[in-house]
Amino acid sequence: MDRDQYQNVVHTFFDCQSNVITEIFGEFLAAMEAEQALPPGSCMSQNYETAQANPEIHLLPGNLKDARDAIFPYFWGTDGWSSPLHLENVRGPANFASLVGALACLLKNPNLCTDSYSQRSNELEVKSITALANLVFYHTKDPWGVFTSGGTVSNLYAGKIGVEKVQPGAMRDGIQAEELAAVVSDASHYCNKTIVGWLGMGLKSLHAVPVDNKLAMRLDKLQEKLDELYQAGKKVAYVVATFGTTDAFGIDDVAAIRKIIDETAQRYSAVVPHLHVDAAVGWTLCFFGDYDLQKNPLKFSEELLPWIAQAQKHARNLQYADSITIDVHKMGRAHYPSSAIIVNQRSDLRYLSRSVADTPYFCEADSRRDPALFTLECSRPGIGPYCVMASLNSIGLTGWQMLTARALELAYYLKQRLEKLEYCCVLNPGTCGANVVWWVLSKGRDAKKIYKDLEDGKLSPEDVGRFFAEIRRQFDKRDRNMNDAIDARLSYTTSIGFELNGYELPAWKAVFFNPKTDETVIDRLIESLEDL
């Protein structure tokens, strides 16, 4: 081997050349600044066949600018979601405090599974999990948890805990799938289907409970479903409540669900199901937990205060959950992945634990603190805790209250504007989140009357199909004719999670994620509806 050539490779790629790195990073930042002056990026031409046929691994060693050149076309071709016109979904720009955290993490590249591989970064995870736990569980005594690759994996952890509670030793002996059941709401995230499949329970074990017109799980139907399952000899492993459904921001009554599952399990002499809350979308409402509505120090509008009061009530009910999923990379505006599974009581993690003998690769692991002994992953990046603590502590509680309140304020404003249009009907008027779902029909239609007729069973299947098709056509028409420079990008859902007389409701959708969005964007949105 040519030692000089080898040393050159080592120097170029493993010595920290701060001047070169900062110059290249400055170029990426300049590209982002230029992008912010542009309208939302549409999907550029993609050729997957060419990408697969030309992987282009260079033969000879180069330098860091070669690294830049290899990825820059794809970086430029990826929308940063910085435009205030992005209203499609719970996706938007990450805050720059999170970027500081992410960069710090990437420089050290810790593996959070054990202290040996992460050192004080493991301590940072404990600190950030505890801070989040005290926020979402409204001050709790002995929480624990870990950051994962996303909400689905966080929910998977909760499902596994539930299985182990009702079938002890399932990790060792396997599960008896025919005995097990899991309960969710009709408006819950589709990842629940993925989870029962990956756990080996199968889709037949997943039971969905209808929701009311606020997209909240119907408690009477939950009671009926639990009675039905226990009478059939099933073991209900877990119940998932939702704190902010993805489309319409429905929130389940966690305290009432807790009472029902406890009393029902006791009546049937069964193990109490694990109560998990999927708060991936809605958890930021917890920032209002101790906000003084009487003094109103941030001078929120009188119209907004009832929504904050409602948010407080819902948020304080989270203390009755056994575990919770939060995605800080959603309304917490952090970088991916910043999802966490948090248990209210640390003792629940014993259901996932393994011995050091089971993990010879981590033979130095300490069961008192090292997550490797209960995590699914053997390699866990530190991005989550670094981004979260940087974001929480720089923006601060007051800053997060303002950001969250502004999103609620804009959603309320859009609902008010839409309600004044006869041919529009808001489908989630009573939810206190940043999401708005609604119908747009042709001018001359009375959308609210059509909704009421559907609710009362006065529409034929042919009428329903015709109106639903019209709602989609109106959306497509706006999409084709929109001015990219001034018109907000919306999304469309074929089902908001609520069935009306057996029909899943389609809807237009807007989510107020981007903090730069303001009333002028909404005013123009209303104009674009009038132009239809």
Six token digits for residue 300:
């929120």
Has residue 272 been placed in a domain? yes
Has residue 87 been placed in a domain? no
> Distance between the two ends of the chain, CA-based, in angstroms?
70
By three-state DSSP, how is residue 298 classified?
Answer: coil
Strands 274-278 and 235-242 turn out to be parallel
Q: Which residue, of 15, 46, 80, is where some domain finishes? A: 80
Q: How many CB atoms lie within 10 A of CB 453?
A: 16
C-alpha pair distances (Å), 494 with each of 145, 430, 504: 35, 20, 7
Q: Which residue, of 376, 400, 424, is where some domain finishes? A: 400
Cis peptide before 461 (omega within 30 of 0): no
Q: What is the pTM of this model?
A: 0.95
Strands 499-500 and 503-504 turn out to be antiparallel
Question: Which residue has tokens 């098709």?
Answer: 469
Residue 66 lies in domain:
3-80
Degrees, nearest 5: CA angle 62-67-70: 110
Please indicate, yes or no, whether residues 65 and 182 belong to a single structural domain of this protein. no
Give backbone dihedrals phi and psi of 236, rounded to 5 degrees, phi first.
-80, 110
Q: State residue 42's pLDDT score.
A: 64
Q: Number of structural domains, the chain?
A: 3
By three-state DSSP, how is residue 202 classified?
Answer: coil
**CA gap 39, 82 in Å, rounded:** 9
Please indicate, yes or no, whether residues 58 and 76 belong to a single structural domain of this protein. yes
CATH classification at residue 126: 3.40.640.10
Give backbone dihedrals phi and psi of 77, rounded to 5 degrees, phi first.
-85, 10
Has residue 90 been placed in a domain? no
Degrees, nearest 5: CA angle 53-55-59: 130
Has residue 415 been placed in a domain? yes
On whether the CB atoms of residues 185 and 217 are closer than 8 A, the answer is: yes
Please indicate, yes or no, whether residues 236 and 361 belong to a single structural domain of this protein. yes
Q: State residue 361's pLDDT score.
A: 67
Q: State residue 177's pLDDT score.
A: 87
Q: State residue 481's pLDDT score.
A: 94
Tell me, what amino acid is at 352? L
Q: State residue 363's pLDDT score.
A: 67
Has residue 89 been placed in a domain? no
Please indicate, yes or no, whether residues 191 and 266 belong to a single structural domain of this protein. yes
Q: State residue 50's pLDDT score.
A: 76
Please indicate, yes or no, whether residues 488 and 455 belong to a single structural domain of this protein. yes
Please indicate, yes or no, whether residues 374 and 522 belong to a single structural domain of this protein. no
Q: What is the DSSP letter of 105?
A: H
Six token digits for residue 291:
């906000």
Please indicate, yes or no, whether residues 157 and 284 belong to a single structural domain of this protein. yes
Q: Residue 185 pairs with which residues in a beta bridge? A: 209
**CA gap 337, 529 in Å, rounded:** 36
Please indicate, yes or no, whether residues 177 and 325 belong to a single structural domain of this protein. yes
On whether the CB atoms of residues 410 and 304 are closer than 8 A, the answer is: no
Q: Which residue, of 343, 375, 400, is where some domain finishes? A: 400
3-state helix, strand, coil in the chain (%, to 5): 50, 15, 40
CATH classification at residue 511: 3.90.1150
Please indicate, yes or no, whether residues 69 and 114 belong to a single structural domain of this protein. no
CA-based max dimension of the chain: 84
On whether the CB atoms of residues 453 and 475 are closer than 8 A, the answer is: no
Has residue 421 been placed in a domain? yes
C-alpha pair distances (Å), 410 with each of 133, 196, 283, 303, 470: 28, 37, 18, 12, 27
**CA gap 262, 271 in Å, rounded:** 9
Q: State residue 139's pLDDT score.
A: 85
Q: What is the pLDDT along the chain (532 residues), one digit of tens a residue?
A: 889 899 999 999 999 999 999 999 999 999 988 888 878 866 666 777 777 777 778 888 999 999 999 989 889 888 888 899 999 988 889 999 999 999 999 999 999 988 888 889 999 999 999 999 999 998 888 999 999 999 999 999 999 999 999 999 999 999 998 999 999 999 999 999 999 999 999 999 999 999 999 999 999 999 999 999 999 999 999 999 999 999 999 999 999 999 999 999 999 999 999 999 999 999 999 999 999 999 999 999 999 999 999 999 999 999 999 999 999 999 999 999 999 999 999 999 999 887 767 677 666 767 677 887 788 988 999 999 999 999 999 999 999 999 999 999 999 999 999 999 999 999 999 999 999 999 999 999 999 999 999 999 999 999 999 999 999 999 999 999 999 999 999 999 999 999 999 999 999 999 999 999 999 999 999 999 999 9
Please indicate, yes or no, whether residues 292 and 425 belong to a single structural domain of this protein. no
Report, in angstroms and rounded to the nearest whole number, the Rg of the chain calculated over CA atoms: 25
On whether the CB atoms of residues 363 and 125 are closer than 8 A, the answer is: no
Give Cα 389 to chain centroid, integer Å: 18
Has residue 392 been placed in a domain? yes
Please indicate, yes or no, whether residues 24 and 141 belong to a single structural domain of this protein. no
Q: State residue 45's pLDDT score.
A: 61
Please indicate, yes or no, whether residues 448 and 383 belong to a single structural domain of this protein. no
* Distant-in-sequence contacts of 399-404, Cβ < 8 A, 24+ apart: 400/284, 400/287, 401/287, 401/288, 401/291, 401/298, 402/298, 403/284, 403/333, 403/515, 404/284, 404/285, 404/287, 404/288, 404/331
Has residue 201 been placed in a domain? yes
